[in-house]
Amino acid sequence: MATPALRDDFRLYIDGAFVAGEASFESLDPARGMPWARMPAASAADVDRAVRAAHRAFDDSAWAELTATQRGRLLTRLGDLVAAHAPELAELETRDTGKIIRETRAQIGYVAEYYRYFGGLADKFEGAHLPVDKPDMEAYLRREPIGVVAAVVPWNSQLFLSAVKLGPALAAGCTVVLKASEDGPAPLLAFARLVHEAGFPPGVVNILTGFGEECGRTLTAHKLVSRVAFTGGPSTARHVVRNTAENLAYTTLELGGKSPVIVFADADLESAANAVVAGIFAASGQSCVAGSRLFVEESVREKLLAILAEKARRIRIGDPADAATEMGPLATPRQLAHIEATVAASLEAGAALVTGGGRPAGFEDGLYYAPTILACAGNEVPCAAQELFGPVLSVIAFEGEADVVAKANDSPFGLAAGVFTSNLTRAHRLIRKLRAGIVWVNTYRAVSPIVPFGGYGQSGLGREGGAESIRDYTRTKSVWIRTSDEPIADPFVMR
């Protein structure tokens, strides 16, 4: 049987044109464990052309002289196009990353709302009049776009993670070079066609994919880049921060997590279990906010574990393109290998396997891993200490609020947390004490363009989403106006 031909129509988007790039690489279909498409790999020269195009577009009248309202209309138009093309973008994301089609369709459809939201905000963020202490002076602040933005996103939720960067950057009047991950870049390269159709002037948005040194380092260290917005892992983020020593670019980082979900004995256990399952097994656990550490009050530990184990065993694993599938494969072979090694080390360290713990039968060709639950003594077990980015839940018992707060905060990460209790005053106490950028109470994984997103500690710096995020793509200019008609006195004549 002949090997199917690789799809070969994906291109870089530079300065309003679709170009092949100087090199290429094969992209893997995670459900089948084999290449399905050839992707362009941006070279250092390609990156330089894209950044220079963005720098030129930033000052060009076609973009620079648009009113904020006109920029907003372009963003709204882009949102409408994303909504119209969500089914085909979802199919590409499912094929290239292994995320199940029911999730990609829902998520990409909602991404359109982010562009509409930022389109509506474009002419609503303001400067300020300053009541200075000088009677013959007026002073005010202008907010002006910061310049060329380097936006770097990973493969998971890439259209969403692009929207929370492109939306506020373009609303503010910046220009952008967006780097998609070399893992699963197809949806963002296809999204470039919608940017083009929306009518953004050439160079305002450029979309690339490629590898670390050639593409990533060249982009984040480029002397014409004024702002870096990065989503990814802490180790890569450290390289990005070092790169920005070259250009002193303002940098925000949205990194990983080891998010605690806390279930008290007075919680609705069935509801909490559904949230826990969604929080760790949705997207095969490949989410920065995955609720991978579950803290259960000792008195209900066995009961909740039994409910979770039954729900995990019932999860329908299958082809991510099948609408009936509830969990698909992992995205990359290295991710699968990392999870297998960490689970093995955790079992050796004393963790007890509740369910899962290996590849499901019948899916040997793809990058599948079964929904896994491990009962752990504490945070020192490898699966509870490390971000796995996979469908592995570490369950730890606690007794009382002080105990669980100490255990939940015992992590270098601080992106999200969940609290399940019927005691509202207790919930408010924990909200204050948990070191996390997001706290969900009696729910999990809720998002909105209106609500900021970001973490503490090694989960990153800065926030994305919400009205304030546009300000991060601007710098202020102080303006002084003398209102007196009297001539300025000679400064060297003493009176």
Q: Is residue 116 classed as helix, strand or coil in its secondary structure?
A: helix
Question: What integer pLDDT is reported at residue 213 of this predicted model?
Answer: 86
pLDDT band at 2 (very low <50, low <70, confident <90, very high): low
Cα–Cα distance measured from residue 479 to residue 130, given in angstroms and rounded to the nearest whole number? 10
User: Which residue, 225, 211, 212, is CA-closest to 177?
Assistant: 225
pLDDT surpasses 90 at 458 = yes
The residues, ordered by sequence, that sit 6+ positions from 265 with a Cβ below 8 Å of its Cβ are 297, 299, 300
For the stretch 344-355, pLDDT in tens is 999 999 999 999
* Type of residue at 310: E
Which H or E run includes 373?
Answer: strand 372-375
Q: Provide, rounded to the nearest whole percent, the portion of the chain with pLDDT above 70.
A: 99
Across the range 70-75, mean pLDDT stands at 98
Cα–Cα distance measured from residue 249 to residue 357, given in angstroms and rounded to the nearest whole number? 43
Q: Is residue 141 classed as helix, strand or coil in its secondary structure?
A: strand
Question: What integer pLDDT is reported at residue 3 of this predicted model?
Answer: 64
Axis-axis angle for helices 86-97, 186-198 (nearest 10): 160
**Can you read off the two tokens belonging to residue 66?**
């648009």
Map out the domains of the chain as residue ranges.
Answer: 12-255+459-479, 260-441
First to last CA, the chain: 99
**Can you read off the two tokens belonging to residue 162?**
């692009």
**Can you read off the two tokens belonging to residue 242?**
């070092």
**Can you read off the two tokens belonging to residue 282?**
């949705």
User: Which residue, 197, 198, 178, 200, is CA-closest to 189?
Assistant: 178
* CB 14 within 8 Å of CB 54: no
The residues, ordered by sequence, that sit 6+ positions from 65 with a Cβ below 8 Å of its Cβ are none
Q: What is the CATH number of domain 12-255+459-479?
A: 3.40.605.10
DSSP code string of 16-66:
TEEE--SEEEEEEETTTTEEEEEEEE--HHHHHHHHHHHHHHHHSHHHHTS
**Average pLDDT, rounded, for the chain:** 96
Q: State whether the Cα torsion 231-382-394-320 is positive or negative.
A: positive
pLDDT surpasses 70 at 249 = yes
> What amino acid positions are annotated as catalytic residues?
254
* CB 12 within 8 Å of CB 186: no
Question: What integer pLDDT is reported at residue 4 of this predicted model?
Answer: 75
**Can you read off the two tokens belonging to residue 404?**
């669980």
The residues, ordered by sequence, that sit 6+ positions from 182 with a Cβ below 8 Å of its Cβ are 25, 39, 41, 209, 210, 211
What residues are paired with 339 via a beta bridge? none
Q: Where are the alpha helices (H) located in 375-437, listed in sequence order?
A: 382-385, 401-408, 424-433
User: Which residue, 139, 160, 161, 141, is CA-closest to 151?
Assistant: 161
For the stretch 353-381, pLDDT in tens is 999 999 999 998 999 999 999 999 999 99
Across the range 203-216, mean pLDDT stands at 95
Q: Count the neighbouring beta carbons within 10 Å of the beta carbon of residue 316.
A: 10
For the stretch 212-225, pLDDT in tens is 889 999 999 999 99
Residue range 260-441 in CATH 3.40.309.10: yes
For the stretch 403-412, pLDDT in tens is 999 999 999 9
* CB 180 within 8 Å of CB 186: no
Question: What integer pLDDT is reported at residue 415 of this predicted model?
Answer: 97
Cα–Cα distance measured from residue 84 to residue 369, given in angstroms and rounded to the nearest whole number? 33
pLDDT surpasses 50 at 1 = no
**Can you read off the two tokens belonging to residue 313?**
């065993």
Torsion of CA 291, 293, 297, 298, to 10 degrees: 140
Torsion of CA 346, 347, 348, 351, to 10 degrees: 80
pLDDT surpasses 90 at 298 = yes
Local structure of residue 5 (DSSP, 8 states): P
pTM confidence score: 0.95
